[in-house]
Amino acid sequence: MHTHMQLPPLLITSAISIADQQPVISDPDERLRLTLVAIGKWLELEPEIQMVICDGSNFDLSTIMRTHFPQAKIECLHFQNDAALVAKLGKGYGEGEIINYALDHSKHLQAASFFIKCTSKVWIKNFSACLRYWNGRFICNADFSNVTKFKPYTLNHIDTRFFIVDKAFYRETFAQAYLQVNDPLRQTIEQCFKKIVLEKKLQAFILPIWPALAGFAGSTGEDYELSRLGLWKEDFKRMVLRWRSPLVANK
């Protein structure tokens, strides 16, 4: 329960029926199954949460959602991404299109001042703990190197699988980031976000705890859930980062 703050809507970015066959998990039935698993897990964590599922492959999830989760507050949107550009530039391009479409068309998002974004097929097991670090603007996870070494640490990229963001701040800061995506040139959406946060000199926006992702990556088939040792290592890195970096939230 979140008696101390409003629970923002959860935007789930989806592409059930993908045009190209590059991703490891390309079968629409399997992509749908994994998405339903993740939504079920979110609802176990937060039964009252409002969800917006926006699918960029023009797959209408509304009937399936009503059947599987009849009590849930789920708004379903669908449209067709620019499939040729997504295939050419990368999934981050499509994700940017999906978020902007949802912001323009979702009733849940239009009524909210901030929102959670999470890619489909993924949920955050310690979401409630992550939400406690909400700073009113933008909070996310990121990948660093050299954190525990006696040399300068490096921000490698921003993790865009899950973040919480003020709606107006997203529109003015990140809404056009996807236009710079070019995966063949290694300009992923994660790198585009990194460039923006460094240019804007943002501080105290990185979660001081590891968001415990679970689920699967559609593009690689990777199981995101870390072992207990892996979680301990990531939390230790963040403990050091809280001391070393102004980028990490410290409240």
Per-residue confidence (pLDDT) for residue 1, from 0 to 100: 44
pTM above 0.95, yes or no: no
Domain definitions of the chain by residue range: 10-244
- Per-residue b/e over 117-126, b at no fewer than 16 CB within 10 Å? bbbbbbbbbb
* CATH number assigned to the domain covering 10-244: 3.90.550
Element (H, E) at 12: strand 10-14
Per-residue confidence (pLDDT) for residue 21, from 0 to 100: 47
Cα gap 251→249, rounded to integer Å = 6
Angle, helices 189-199 vs 91-105, to 10°: value is 70
Neighbours of 7 (CB within 10 A): 15
Per-residue confidence (pLDDT) for residue 18, from 0 to 100: 76
Residue 247: closest CA among 144, 128, 99? 144
- List CB contacts of 22: < 8 A, sequence separation 6 or more: 219
Per-residue confidence (pLDDT) for residue 28, from 0 to 100: 86
Helical H runs in 19-58?
Answer: 28-45
| 238: its two tokens | 């963040």
Cα gap 233→241, rounded to integer Å = 12
Per-residue confidence (pLDDT) for residue 160, from 0 to 100: 96
Q: 213-247, pLDDT tens digit by residue?
A: 998 776 666 666 777 788 888 888 888 888 888 89
Per-residue confidence (pLDDT) for residue 184, from 0 to 100: 92
Cα gap 31→27, rounded to integer Å = 6
Residues of the chain scoring pLDDT < 50: 1, 3, 21
- List CB contacts of 3: < 8 A, sequence separation 6 or more: none
